[in-house]
Amino acid sequence: MVSIIVTHKQCLRYLEECLNSIAEQEFQDYETVLVVDDLQDEPEEFQKVIDKYKERIHLRLFYLERKTGVSAARNFGMDKAQGEYIYFLDNDDYIFEDGIKKLLDVMEDDTEMAYGRVQGTYQGTVTFEEKRDLEKEEERLSAYDFYNPMESRITHYRRLEGLSVLGALYKKSFLTEHNVRFDEEQMYFADVSVIAKIMSVATKMKGNVEAIYVKRRHNDRYNNPALDQTPKVDSMSWYFRAVDKAKEAAKGNEEIGRHLDLIVAKFVTLTLIQKLRWNTEEEPCWKDEYFDEFHRRLAEMNLKKLNKKYILWLEKPVMKAMAKGDREAVRKTGNRLLAKRKLKRMVKNKWSRNKAVALHIFNKMPIKNNYVIFESFMGRNYSGQPKYIYEYMQEHLGNKYTYIWSVDKRGLKIPGKHKKVRRSGIRYFYYMNRSKYWILNMKQPLSVPKREETILLETWHGTPLKRLVFDLNDVVGGVSNYKDKFYRQKEAWDYLLSDNPFSTEKFQSCFMYPREKILEYGYPANDPLYAPDREERAKKIKEKLGIPQDKKVIMYAPTWRDDNYYEIGQFKFDLDLDVNRLEKEFGDEYVILLRLHYLVVEALDMSKYGDFAINGSAYDDVTDLYLITDILITDYSSVFFDFANLKRPVLYYTYDLEKYRDILHGFYLSMEDDLPGPMLLTNDEVVDAIRNIDKIEEQYRERYEEFYDRFCCIDDGHATERVVNKIFGEQ
């Protein structure tokens, strides 16, 4: 029997996935020893999870009486374990179905330990598999000898946190015989001395590359940090202690001792020199006590004996200088190494190149108080709040300001006197650095340094229906450190615009953004929906799009799907709506305007549809399209909050509701109870709804009114004026 030892303190969402992965093990002769230490979850909620899994995972549950920490909990688990084998599984991690079986497959009578692979991820079980890049895995694996246990478990890692007991099966008698225990005083890096000891005494170890343990990196270090996300400055004393204890534990094993030295020396070149360059003011201990400690350690080491394979030529002088304790030499050689790394990034990446120029040149030039830079949807459109703020300023403030547009699309037409800069180009960096005002409707790139004096108005681009950033568990379609990046981005916003009290409330949680910096003024882009001449405008827009004036318009404007992409930021879209059928049914009275989301790069093949279907995806401004739309069909896109200002009917084609709600996003509203129109799951239902649109309007009248009062209560045609007055002063 295998004893799976899980320790738990908090985060039920992760624990559920962990227990579920145990329940699904192919090999069923196991017990789960769950040790609860200092429970931080609601006890009833915790109990619910336990009740759900206890039968399926052969559970034995223990509560520690006093708060003792993970090491003590693991020791306790080992004492309770009744199995022949021990397997440690952290409560925020999970294993593949054959994770344990594959290890047992290679365990022979005299094998003391069988190890597999530990893979890191920011994702939960559902998306991990989809996002796996097998080619990359292969490449990483081929860089070392997986079947050499010392290399797999110790020397392959260049950071202390890599040395871990996870992902392996241990014979219990072997652990007992050698008195292998976790050091209960060691707060962080407690695994290091345990694995050092195991590796120094084991005589027979087997590996199986197919046994996979998935180690979750927490994607939200602000609200739910993992132990290894503790700020380095706070864990350094544990770091040094762990190294010493591990050396003691591996007594006599030179290879392990040397590798621990290498890890310490590499800390200097990978981390310390950065801290010395950037962090000494807020964290002076890097140049004081930690510097002295590293000096002492490197002075005692035999640097020549360290494995040269892992040391770059520019790292050697830094290590030597540190061994001598020569601060000036450490600074010089360290900076040289940092400069080389930066240069490498610059050669590879245009953004880094331009950032360096911006930092050293543009940032030192005086700021221009009359420069305003605008950008909509990362430069892809001339639309949204930035467009309307710009047009208002052109009309009312004219030459008082210099207007700059950041664009990322050839041929983007922008009226009025302005400068156009290509996003990410050197001129873009120049103007971003010199402009006093940034008016953007999406996040700003972190590689553009923002000055203190710059005022960044983040207008955003919609009332949230789907959960966003810090209200999301896993971020499926974003980069892995999405939340970390977002945190730094939103910290730089001076104001955030909100369309209604609902958005104001949600933005505070999903962006972790303070109420006092939110401007609840309504959306400038919705002003035209209240323009007295909106009928006239609509006629012109129809003309521009080649839509006969006597035809009514159905607009289909779905959102993007986080899990359907070529690469991050380049999304696909599978058109599920049966356009040919709609043409047959409604071709005499309507045309259909197909409007895909700006993140979708897919070009629809319009040739299949004839005159009935109009391609609205390339049209810049969706506000114009609202003006000509008689019926809106959408799904989970925030377009309907804006469109509802017109009080025209909305249908929701939500054929993939469950997946979208449960896996990809989750919603802030109840799709069943709060929406101002019906949810439709099939093309039949869509056809039926259009046919009976009058009845639907009648049926949803009351709910629509409530919806309007809740979400459109501030828009009145004067939002732009309010925003401009606030940011640019009463003019």
Q: Which residues bind ligand C2G (CB under 6 A)?
A: 461-462, 464, 466, 468, 557-559, 595-598, 622, 637-639, 642
Least separation in angstroms between residue 153's CB and ligand C2G is 42
End-to-end Cα, the chain, rounded Å: 78
Least separation in angstroms between residue 684's CB and ligand C2G is 23
Least separation in angstroms between residue 204's CB and ligand C2G is 54
Q: Phi and psi of 168, rounded to 5°?
A: -140, 155
Q: Closer to ligand C2G by CB, 334 or 677: give it.
A: 677
List beta partners, residue 687.
Answer: none
Residue 205 half-sphere exposure, CB side, CA atoms within 13 Å? Answer: 22
| Helix, strand, coil content of the chain in percent (nearest 5) | 45, 15, 35
Q: Closer to ligand C2G by CB, 379 or 558: give it.
A: 558
Least separation in angstroms between residue 377's CB and ligand C2G is 7
Catalogue the long-range contacts made by 303-311 (C-beta closer than 8 Å, 24 or more residues apart). Answer: 303/265, 305/258, 305/261, 306/258, 306/261, 306/262, 306/265, 307/155, 307/258, 307/259, 307/262, 310/158, 310/262, 310/266, 311/262, 311/265, 311/266
Q: Closer to ligand C2G by CB, 31 or 562: give it.
A: 562
Q: Closer to ligand C2G by CB, 210 or 630: give it.
A: 630
Least separation in angstroms between residue 583's CB and ligand C2G is 20
Q: Closer to ligand C2G by CB, 434 or 461: give it.
A: 461
Least separation in angstroms between residue 506's CB and ligand C2G is 8
User: In Å, how far from its chain's centre is CA 704?
Assistant: 34
Q: Closer to ligand C2G by CB, 499 or 583: give it.
A: 499
Per DSSP, the residues of 124-148 read: -HHHHHHH--HHHHHHHHHTS-TT-
Three-state SS for 83? coil
Q: Closer to ligand C2G by CB, 286 or 507: give it.
A: 507
Cα gap 709→123, rounded to integer Å:
38
Least separation in angstroms between residue 508's CB and ligand C2G is 13
Q: Closer to ligand C2G by CB, 75 or 559: give it.
A: 559
Q: Closer to ligand C2G by CB, 290 or 711: give it.
A: 711
Least separation in angstroms between residue 269's CB and ligand C2G is 41
Three-state SS for 702? helix
Least separation in angstroms between residue 598's CB and ligand C2G is 6
Residues 6+ apart with CB under 8 A from 3: 30, 31, 33, 77, 81, 82, 83, 85, 86, 87, 172
Residues 6+ apart with CB under 8 A from 12: 41, 45, 46, 49
Q: Closer to ligand C2G by CB, 7 or 638: give it.
A: 638
Three-state SS for 207? strand
Least separation in angstroms between residue 378's CB and ligand C2G is 11
Q: Closer to ligand C2G by CB, 77 or 558: give it.
A: 558
Least separation in angstroms between residue 170's CB and ligand C2G is 46
Q: Closer to ligand C2G by CB, 542 or 595: give it.
A: 595
Least separation in angstroms between residue 600's CB and ligand C2G is 8
Q: Closer to ligand C2G by CB, 73 or 596: give it.
A: 596
User: In Å, how far from its chain's centre is CA 481?
Assistant: 5
Contact 195, 143 (CB under 8 A): no
Q: Closer to ligand C2G by CB, 39 or 545: give it.
A: 545
Longest pairwise C-alpha distance within the chain = 90
Cα gap 404→393, rounded to integer Å:
12
Cα gap 613→626, rounded to integer Å:
16
The 10 Å CB-count burial string (b at 16+, else e) for 413-432 is eeeeebeebebbeeebbbbb
Least separation in angstroms between residue 573's CB and ligand C2G is 9
List beta partners, residue 634.
Answer: 652
List the one residue out of 80, 214, 205 whose CA is nearest residue 149.
205
> How many DSSP H helices and E strands does the chain contain?
29, 23
Cα gap 531→514, rounded to integer Å:
32
Q: Which residue has the tokens 């997986």?
A: 146
Contact 539, 624 (CB under 8 A): no
Least separation in angstroms between residue 646's CB and ligand C2G is 14
Per-residue three-class SS string for 334-401: HHHHHHHHHHHHHHHCHHHHHHHHHHHCHHHCCCEEEEEEEEEHHHCECCHHHHHHHHHHHHHHHHHC
